[in-house]
């Protein structure tokens, strides 16, 4: 175990988990218990720079990290204790509810009563010659359940939330993303709250955590989403476990909510001409090819970067791309599953991608689909880096909002605009077949392109 010897006057102290590099910088190092490494992707230790060379400051930061991780380890272990406790109770024909509510329970005075048998067995197990060894965590949890004194933590609420996500065929990536979102929402609070036991969390502490997130630079919309998700799951846990507590995440204020929403950035007609010229100049680059397929389709970068080569369909009556759930990637919403016509620069780039593909090539852009799962972060980062090298402040998402404006300016109907961008619109879904819809979408983008040429 890493240790650092600190001398303060005549006093010498040994500080666990603190190390000093030859450079003078202090680092925190804490081994992760073997039984918990699965929660950290197999990582063996936490290693953080304390960003100081001052001994006393390093000690304070080391202690803070130690307390944080000790609590985190306890929470991670506690998520499995209830499962073990329920199994233990079941082995005695006891339900995981208070003793007073047990169905068909015999008189407690009967020595053969399941509850009495359970308590006697625990006493015998932990009797060490007149004294008693501490009960195991799951045994203490079982007793708390029977006494109606169960304490629930945010980690357990999170675990229940993750278990409730039902796996749907073809939606594995969406499931991963949803699990990741839930973990991120809970983590944003657990790292700021002084305790994670629901019965000990106070509304003022949650309010302080929310204020801290805003002070740290989080957008109000992001904080609202985190708070709303955790509040909903905690509300469900309180009802499920019949806890006699109030939801501390209720009635928490987000100061200035909505006031920091930025107007969606779009390309002006002049900038649009410039960006198309730029894409053509760089069209040998796969990053530029992704941009080219975005500019006149209004697709999302993930829909293009992870697209199957076979889903770029140039041989049909209306050349188009198919945005759909595939083995390597998901789509953002159900409405995002659609066909989008290829026209203008997007059609030109699509032909280039198809011509340049090798025999047996599965994905249009293999470098971002090497593991069988689309690497959205790397693709999005590389494509945006190319775009920003010439057009500062713009992102690939700007093409979507720009296309919506271009279609509006060409007097294209709202339902057709929604169909292009993959926004929900029951009008088109109800009244048109796939072929008719593609024709209407093509007419829409052709109208926008014709207007821009005139």
Please provide the DSSP assignment of 244-309 as one string: SS--TTTT---TTTTTTPPPPP---HHHHHHHHHHHHHTTTSHHHHHHHHHHTT---HHHHHT-BG
Q: Where in the chain is the domain with CATH 1.10.443?
A: 269-453
Q: Burial of 359 by CB count in 10 Å (0-12 exposed, 13-18 middle, 19+ buried)? A: exposed
For residue 326, pLDDT beyond 70: yes
Tens digit of pLDDT for each residue in 122-147?
888 887 666 667 788 788 888 888 98
pLDDT category, 75, cuts 50, 70, 90? Answer: low
Q: What is the mean pLDDT of the chain?
A: 85
Question: Is the C-alpha dihedral spanning 225, 172, 73, 88 positive or negative?
Answer: positive
Sequence-separated contacts (24+) of 148-152 with Cβ below 8 Å: 148/98, 148/99, 148/100, 150/241, 150/243, 151/197, 151/198, 151/199, 152/197, 152/198, 152/199, 152/237, 152/241, 152/243
For residue 433, pLDDT beyond 50: no
**pLDDT of res. 149:** 82
Q: Give the residue-averaged pLDDT of 96-112.
A: 76
- DSSP summary character for residue 317: S
More confidently predicted of 256 and 83:
256
pTM metric for this prediction: 0.62
CB 307 within 8 A of CB 321: yes
Rg (CA), the chain: 29
**pLDDT of res. 333:** 63
Strands 45-49 and 26-31: antiparallel
pLDDT category, 108, cuts 50, 70, 90? Answer: low
For residue 2, pLDDT beyond 80: no
**pLDDT of res. 242:** 84
Residues 6 or more apart in contact with residue 173 via CB below 8 angstroms: 329, 330, 373, 374
HSE-CB at 36 with a 13 A cutoff on CA atoms is 18
Q: Which of 5-14, 255-264, 275-284, 438-447 has the lowest mean pLDDT?
A: 5-14
**pLDDT of res. 186:** 94
Q: Which two tokens stand for residue 362?
A: 């599965």
CATH 1.10.443 fits 269-453, yes or no: yes
Residue found under tokens 């306890």: 74
Phi, psi of 91 (to 5 degrees): -65, -20
**pLDDT of res. 189:** 95
Percent of the chain with pLDDT over 70: 88
CB 312 within 8 A of CB 362: no
Q: Tell me, rounded to whole angstroms, the distance of Cα 375 from its chain centroid.
A: 15
**pLDDT of res. 83:** 81
**pLDDT of res. 116:** 87
Strands 18-20 and 11-16: unpaired
**What is the spatial distance between Cα 187 and Cα 190, in angstroms, rounded to a whole number?**
5
Q: Give the residue-averaged pLDDT of 365-385.
A: 91
Torsion angle of the four alpha carbons 349, 351, 353, 357, in this order, in degrees rounded to the nearest 10:
-170
Please provide the DSSP assignment of 322-378 as one string: EE---SS---SSGGG-EEEE--HHHHHHHHHHHHHPPTT--BSSGGG-TTSS--HHH
Q: Give the residue-averaged pLDDT of 284-308.
A: 94
Q: Give the residue-averaged pLDDT of 369-386.
A: 90
For residue 70, pLDDT beyond 90: no
More confidently predicted of 80 and 48:
48
For residue 313, pLDDT beyond 80: yes
Percent of the chain with pLDDT over 90: 41
For residue 308, pLDDT beyond 90: yes
More confidently predicted of 332 and 198:
198
Tens digit of pLDDT for each residue in 269-280?
999 999 999 999
Residues 6 or more apart in contact with residue 215 via CB below 8 angstroms: none
- DSSP summary character for residue 167: P
Tens digit of pLDDT for each residue in 15-47?
888 999 999 999 999 999 887 776 676 788 989
């Amino acid at each position: 175990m890493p240790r650092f010897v600190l001398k303060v006057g005549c006093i010498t102290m040994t500080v666990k988990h603190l190390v000093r590099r030859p450079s003078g910088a202090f680092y925190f190092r804490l081994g992760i218990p073997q039984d918990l490494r699965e929660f950290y992707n197999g990582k063996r230790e936490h290693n953080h720079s304390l960003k100081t060379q001052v001994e006393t400051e390093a000690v304070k930061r080391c202690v803070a990290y130690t307390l944080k991780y000790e609590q985190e380890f306890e929470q991670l272990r506690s998520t499995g204790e209830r499962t073990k406790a329920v199994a233990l109770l079941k082995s005695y024909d006891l339900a995981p509810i208070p003793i007073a509510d047990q169905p068909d329970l015999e008189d407690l005075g009967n020595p053969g009563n399941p509850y009495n048998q359970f308590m006697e067995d625990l006493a015998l197990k932990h009797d060490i010659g007149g004294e008693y060894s501490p009960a195991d965590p799951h045994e203490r949890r079982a007793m708390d359940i029977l006494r109606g004194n169960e304490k629930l933590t945010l980690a357990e609420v999170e675990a229940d939330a993750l278990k409730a996500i039902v796996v749907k065929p073809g939606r594995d990536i969406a499931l991963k993303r949803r699990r990741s979102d839930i973990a991120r929402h809970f983590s944003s609070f657990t790292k700021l709250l002084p305790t994670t036991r629901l019965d000990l969390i106070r509304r003022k502490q949650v309010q302080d955590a929310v204020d801290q997130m805003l002070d740290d630079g989080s957008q109000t919309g992001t904080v609202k989403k985190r708070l709303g998700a955790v509040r909903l799951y905690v509300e469900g846990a309180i009802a499920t476990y019949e806890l006699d507590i109030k939801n501390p995440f209720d009635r928490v204020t987000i100061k200035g909510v909505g006031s920091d929403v930025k107007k969606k950035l779009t390309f002006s007609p002049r900038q649009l001409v410039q960006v198309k010229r730029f894409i053509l100049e760089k069209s040998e680059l796969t990053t530029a090819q992704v941009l080219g397929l975005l500019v006149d389709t209004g697709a999302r970068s993930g829909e293009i970067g992870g697209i199957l080569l076979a889903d770029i369909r140039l041989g049909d009556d209306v050349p188009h791309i198919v945005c759909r759930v595939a083995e390597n990637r998901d789509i953002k919403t159900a409405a995002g599953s659609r066909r989008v016509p290829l026209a203008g620069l997007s059609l030109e780039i699509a032909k280039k991608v198809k011509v340049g593909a090798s025999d047996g090539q599965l994905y249009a852009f293999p470098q971002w689909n090497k593991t069988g799962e689309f690497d959205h972060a790397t693709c999005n980062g590389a494509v945006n880096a190319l775009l920003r090298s010439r057009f500062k402040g713009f992102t690939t998402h700007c093409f979507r909002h720009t296309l919506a404006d271009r279609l509006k300016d060409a007097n294209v109907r709202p339902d057709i605009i929604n169909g292009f961008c993959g926004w929900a619109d029951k009008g088109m879904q109800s009244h048109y077949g796939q072929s008719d819809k593609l024709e209407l979408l093509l007419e829409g983008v052709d109208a926008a392109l014709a207007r821009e040429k005139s």
